[in-house]
A and B are shown apart, each in its own frame.
Chain A
Amino acid sequence: MSNRHFVKGGFLTFLLLSASGLVAQEGGRIHGNFSTDAQYYNVDSAIGAVVPAQRLAANAWANLIYTNGPFEAGGRFESYTPPLAGYPAGTPYSGSGIGYRYAKYRQDDLEVTVGNFFEQFGQGMIFRSYEERYLGVDNAMDGIRLKYMPVRGLHLKGFIGQQRLSFANQAVKGPGIVRGIDAEVSLRELLDTNWTSANNLIIGGGFVSKYQEDRDPSLVLPQNVAAWALRANFTTPRWNVYAEYARKVNDPNSRNGFIYKEGQGLLVNATYSVRGFGLSMGAHSFDNMLFQSDRAAPTPFDLNINFLPPLAKQHTYNLPATLYPYATQPNGEVSAQGELFYKWKKGTKLGGKYGTKVAVNYSVAHALDTTRLGAVDDTTSRLGYRTAFLSPGHRRYFQDLNVEVRKRVSSTWEFALTYLNVWYDIDIIQGKPGEAPVHADILILEGLHNFTERNSVRFEVQHLSTREDHGNWATALAEFTFSPHWFVAAMDQFNYVGSEKLEAKGYEALHYPVGSVGYIRGGNRFQVNYGRQRAGIFCVGGVCRQVPAANGLTLSITSTF
């Protein structure tokens, strides 16, 4: 493997030596944190549990950051010996070493970063470099970044570098080079007027280009692929309206079938809120907008240059969050979402003594309405398909109507009742061709009771009914908190199927019990879990990874200093 794919180990040594020199000269500040997740795996054939040969797996991270006035340097040690089953989302990690290191300083209006950095233009439609640790997504840049503010209210950014692909005793970089520039004007910062003291208009635009060598013997692949975007964000005390439009030139890649069609995307969000009332509406359309710095990246999680946010509620309750969460389809979807929040005040008929909150949310995502281009000639067929922008097709990917009512009924009891009606195209979203779409009804009751000021219990009872996929589920959870140090929780997820048709296909009723104990003191937190973990989907921000079934003991520790 070529050395150019690896972070140079000596760089961090240089940074730390520089830092120690500065400590000696002026005194600075070092802070950091540590976290680990270790799991011991048991054999459990009933659920098809994954058991690594090592039986014990551990992920660990430690950040060390030194700051001294305008100078900052830092690094992250990572260890995957081996990684937890199903981790990370994309290309595998292995071994221990330095995965992230940087130095930056600010001189007047210029900020210079060398080494690794995270960055985002607008909402990320053409560029977002970020880390979502528990998902195992990290596309950190390695290169240089400049930020400059020539006048107050005008922000300029520019960068060039390569993205992190994976980890093998050190960060492994992808083959492409990514470079970009961005400019943003904020009227509130630029102008000192009565209007801008309450309102603001931010206008921005960015340009990103990737380079990857073309070695394909049969196709002429564009080595430089560019994307640009324009955005505007208008805010008043009650309104927040955001719109961004992006366009990408021909970007044949393995996930769009090596077609040469241009990509484009539009997203619009508007929210209106006053005390006790909130309304938000959003819509977006993405057409051929997957943008990776390797046109044949090993997985959809690797080397993403941009980020396309989902337009669906990110549920936190166990069953809707892990069984049928929606993930954006970057190569083609038209989606819309609306949410209404209202609070009946205390003392009203529906508000009662403590007030009542209700939230109604609806989201829907459809395929694009496309017409495949026939094989008139190679050039035409290589354009893939034709579509009218913002034009939804007949195929519905996802729909979620959910209502939540939350009410405090006494000084010590609070309840929340949630109903969800979900339509889920499991064929497309989870890549299970031929599987029937899942239509599920989910009902959840959550209760919170404070025994004393320090001690409380929270419980959830959830039920999901469907005749598709794995059938019906019931979940019960109880979580006791003894502030400020201890918590104890127990949960059972029961897949009782409830359909003769599914049972005939081999699905059996299964319990997935798990117990947890946690202890928090100062900057340290310890948690131990023991039980079954069912196979499912774990999502953050609409990016989802498969989690395999497992049975065992998990220890999690986090610490900051």
Chain B
Amino acid sequence: MALAGCDIVSDPVQPSGNTVGPVEGIPRRVLLEDLTGHRCNNCPRAARVADGLATQYGDQLVIVGVHMVNGFAAPQNPIGDGIFDTDFRTPAGSAYEAAFQIEGLPMGMFNRFPFNGARAITDGAWPSAMAAAAGQEADLDIRFTSFTFNAANSSVSGEIEVTIAKPMEGTHDLVIYLTEDHVIDWQVDAQAPSPNVPDYEHRHVLRAVLNGTWGESVFEGSASAGDRFTRSFSYTLPTNVLESANCALVAYVAHRDSYEVKQVTERKFQP
């Protein structure tokens, strides 16, 4: 039994890393919601795991950093000293925190689908969860059929088309996130030589949801292969956006009851 219950690994590194084979039909991209906070000391470690996955999986993975949990994400007193003053939280992020019972950070959700019994999982499980989620065939596809950004009035507008590839059941919603990348601000980083880092690069920060916290219905009841749905959007960027050139829209379709994300796509303002 001792021999049977014990694997000694002498060479820990997989010989060829990960490769996802070709997928028949439409590849299902993966949404990673990186649940984070600027005063969460281990969150930068998780962000580095996410960066590594982005390098490995390319455009199969879409990452959004959602700041939440007051103990980690609330601005730090005294307000006005410029240190941890920024409030990265959003009403939507707080709603997700409550709905998914997030109390500790860092956590991540891959397509909001449970892995090893939990929807929100720690960064140690992210490579395995990503390997499990990647390489699947999608039930639908999403694409931006038009996209316009007007710098003069900081507004973005366009149209999204959802194409059903396989018969689907249940109410599904389209949610459109606004994210901003490369935001330089304070962050606690347990792995940094000095943990309070004033110029940390925050990636893929969720700034707002264009069409309501839980989005808008795409179809209810059922949909058949070949069905197409279009939704238009028009939105003025909120004042918390620092640099519109670093922004992107992330659109995904999720099952209303299970929250599972069926497909996601990202449109950067400057591709």
For the complex, give the distance between the alpha carbons of A515 and B122 in Å: 39
Contacts of A5 in B (CB 8 A): 117
A431 x B41 contact (CB < 8 A): yes
Contacts of B4 in A (CB 8 A): 209, 224
Task: Verify if A94 is at the interface (C-beta below 8 Å from B).
Answer: yes
Contacts of B71 in A (CB 8 A): 546, 548
Nearest CB of chain A from residue B119's CB, rounded to whole Å = 8
B7 x A225 contact (CB < 8 A): yes
- Between A94, A173, A434, the greatest number of chain B beta carbons within 10 A of the residue's beta carbon is seen for A434
Contacts of B56 in A (CB 8 A): 217-218
Instruction: Tell me which of A222, A296, A506 contacts B77 (CB under 8 A).
Output: A506
A505 x B17 contact (CB < 8 A): no
Residue of B nearest to A176 (CB): B116
> Chain A, 236-262, contact with B by CB distance < 8 Å: what is the 0/1 string?
000000000000011011110010100
A382 x B122 contact (CB < 8 A): no
A298 x B196 contact (CB < 8 A): no
Task: Verify if A92 is at the interface (C-beta below 8 Å from B).
Answer: yes
B122 x A218 contact (CB < 8 A): no
A207 x B12 contact (CB < 8 A): no
Task: Verify if A378 is at the interface (C-beta below 8 Å from B).
Answer: yes
> Chain A, 185-220, contact with B by CB distance < 8 Å: what is the 0/1 string?
000000000000000000000010101001111111
Q: Which of A1-30 contact B (CB under 8 A)?
A: 1-2, 5
Residue of B nearest to A83 (CB): B101
Task: Verify if B152 is at the interface (C-beta below 8 Å from A).
Answer: no
Given A434-B188, A434-B195, A218-B121 contact (CB < 8 Å): no
Instruction: Tell me which of B1, B122, B126, B130 contacts A298 (CB under 8 A).
Output: B122
A219 x B8 contact (CB < 8 A): no
Give the size category of B's interface with A: 35 or more
A48 x B70 contact (CB < 8 A): yes
Given A175-B117, A226-B2, A378-B13 contact (CB < 8 Å): yes
B41 x A432 contact (CB < 8 A): yes
Give the size category of A's interface with B: 35 or more
- Between B1, B116, B120, B126, the greatest number of chain A beta carbons within 10 A of the residue's beta carbon is seen for B116
For the complex, give the distance between the alpha carbons of A181 and B190 in Å: 39
Given A217-B131, A254-B125, A434-B188, A207-B117 contact (CB < 8 Å): no
Contacts of B118 in A (CB 8 A): 91, 165-166, 298
Instruction: Tell me which of B78, B124, B189 contacts A258 (CB under 8 A).
Output: B124
Task: Verify if B103 is at the interface (C-beta below 8 Å from A).
Answer: yes
B104 x A298 contact (CB < 8 A): yes
B8 x A249 contact (CB < 8 A): yes
Nearest CB of chain B from residue A273's CB, rounded to whole Å = 39
Contacts of B122 in A (CB 8 A): 254, 296-299
Task: Verify if B14 is at the interface (C-beta below 8 Å from A).
Answer: yes
Task: Verify if A433 is at the interface (C-beta below 8 Å from B).
Answer: yes
Task: Verify if A504 is at the interface (C-beta below 8 Å from B).
Answer: yes
Contacts of A411 in B (CB 8 A): none
A226 x B11 contact (CB < 8 A): no
Contacts of A211 in B (CB 8 A): 5
Task: Verify if B31 is at the interface (C-beta below 8 Å from A).
Answer: no
Contacts of B131 in A (CB 8 A): 215-217
Q: Which of B181-240 contact A (CB under 8 A)?
A: 188-190, 194-196
Give the secondary structure class of A's interface: loop
Task: Verify if B114 is at the interface (C-beta below 8 Å from A).
Answer: yes
For the complex, give the distance between the alpha carbons of A321 and B124 in Å: 32
> Chain B, 102-122, contact with A by CB distance < 8 Å: what is the 0/1 string?
011001000000101110111
B9 x A250 contact (CB < 8 A): yes
Task: Verify if B18 is at the interface (C-beta below 8 Å from A).
Answer: yes
Task: Verify if B132 is at the interface (C-beta below 8 Å from A).
Answer: yes
Contacts of A1 in B (CB 8 A): 114, 117
Task: Verify if B128 is at the interface (C-beta below 8 Å from A).
Answer: yes
Contacts of B196 in A (CB 8 A): 433-434
A221 x B78 contact (CB < 8 A): no
B14 x A219 contact (CB < 8 A): yes
Task: Verify if A172 is at the interface (C-beta below 8 Å from B).
Answer: yes
Contacts of B194 in A (CB 8 A): 434
Instruction: Tell me which of B12, B14, B76, B103 contacts A260 (CB under 8 A).
Output: B12
B188 x A172 contact (CB < 8 A): no
B9 x A260 contact (CB < 8 A): yes
Contacts of A504 in B (CB 8 A): 78
Residues of chain B whose beta carbon lies under 8 Å from any beta carbon of chain A? 1-2, 4-14, 17-18, 41-42, 56, 70-71, 76-78, 98, 101, 103-104, 107, 114, 116-118, 120-128, 130-132, 188-190, 194-196
What are 19 residue pairs bridging A and B, where the CB atoms are less than 8 Å apart in the complex? A91-B118, A92-B101, A94-B101, A175-B117, A207-B1, A217-B56, A217-B130, A218-B127, A222-B7, A250-B9, A252-B12, A254-B122, A294-B116, A295-B125, A296-B122, A296-B124, A379-B10, A432-B41, A506-B76
Given contacts A223-B7, A299-B122, A378-B13, 10 further A-B contacts (CB under 8 A): A166-B118, A209-B2, A218-B56, A224-B6, A249-B8, A431-B190, A433-B41, A433-B189, A433-B195, A506-B78
